[in-house]
Amino acid sequence: MQEYDNLKRGEKGAWLSISAYLVLSALKLTVAYIGGSAALRADGLNNATDVVASVAVLIGLKISRKPPDKDHHYGHYRAESIASLIAAFIMITVGLEVVINTVTKLIQNQTETPSIITAYAAGFSAIVMFGVYRFNRKLAKNINSSAIYAQSQDNLSDALVSIGAVVGILGSIMGVHWLDLVAGILVGLLIIKTAVGIFWDATHTLTDGFDSKEIKEIKKSISNVHGVEKVKDIKARKHGNQVLLEATILVNPQLTVEESHHITDEVEIHLEKKYGVKHAHLHIEPYPS
């Protein structure tokens, strides 16, 4: 099935992120230790935890590919959202550790001038992560994956974090010694901000939340299908990257069962073509004369 093929393609994005994070975290933590940069250390810790988050996404994608069974009649697609939730928790934990550790150093005036090599390491990391972000963003759009989209946003935040680290390091080298620590704090706050956004999206999906504007648009669109007199009720929820939709549509009471069924077929085809909805449960009622 196309859904399972897409999930398998999504694993490429997770593996790319894992590989990039492993290399960059080792590079940045080593260079930060040698060159004495709090901002680069925070950036390196961020990447180290991103390895764990990316592994969580990869596991979630693999579980999502499992076909329906006697306990999961709709499949295992929500494992994607759970993976995103785990990734968010990990990022929030690291962001708080970075902020607390760096603020403590700033209060105690534990400043030091980092080596220029730390700026080079951070700049190189920003370029690499921006490339990974572009790849994963395009992949997430092509396969409609919430987990890979969350991964791409994390990739982008990592690129921005590295740019911030460069600014802080260069400022510290130029004489503003506390700027490296301030950059470290900002890195931590950005990690937390990104994590909260991912957490919100994942919990919204897991609690059957659905965009109200989108559901109104779908309702209006169904009403324009030939034979549909009115859409009485409509509900939708996300199941991983799938949309499950239920609707009650009113049709001419003079139609036969076969003719009414044909209308539901047309609605289902319309929903799949325009909105990618592959699972629609439609209930027919007579339109009052």
Residues 275 and 195 in one domain: no
- 84 and 147 housed in the same domain: yes
280 and 195 belong to one structural domain: no
Residue 248: pLDDT band with limits 50, 70, 90: very high
| pLDDT over 90 percentage in the chain | 24
CB 18 within 8 A of CB 132: no
φ/ψ region of 208 (left if φ > 0, alpha if ψ in -120 to 50, else beta) reads left
pLDDT average, residue stretch 117-125:
92
Is the pTM above the cut of 0.85? no
- Mean pLDDT of all residues belonging to the chain: 83
Give me the count of residues in the chain: 289
Rounded to 10°, the helix 2-35/38-64 angle is: 160
Same domain, yes or no, for 150 and 38? yes
pLDDT of 238 reads 81
Report how far residue 142's alpha carbon sits from residue 119's, in angstroms, rounded to the nearest whole number: 35
pLDDT per residue as tens digits for the range 145-166: 766 787 788 788 888 888 888 8
| Exposure string for 204-229, b = 16+ CB within 10 A, e = fewer | ebeeeebeeeeeeebbeebeebeebb
Last residue of a domain, one of 176, 206, 236: 206
Does the pLDDT at position 7 exceed 70? no
Same domain, yes or no: 236 and 155: no
From 164, 186, 206, give the residue that closes a domain.
206
Q: What CATH number should be reported for the domain holding residue 264?
A: 3.30.70.1350
φ, ψ at 108 (rounded to 5°) = -85, 5
- What pLDDT sits at residue 94? 79
142 neighbors 85 (Cβ within 8 angstroms): no
Pair 54, 93 in one domain: yes
Q: Indicate which CATH number applies to the domain containing 66.
A: 1.20.1510.10
Mean pLDDT across 245-272: 91
Domain with 184, as residue range(s), is 2-206
What is the helix (H) or strand (E) element at residue 279, kind and residue range?
A: strand 279-286
161 & 225 share domain: no
Mean pLDDT, to the nearest integer, of 246-261? 91
Are 196 and 233 found together in one domain?
no
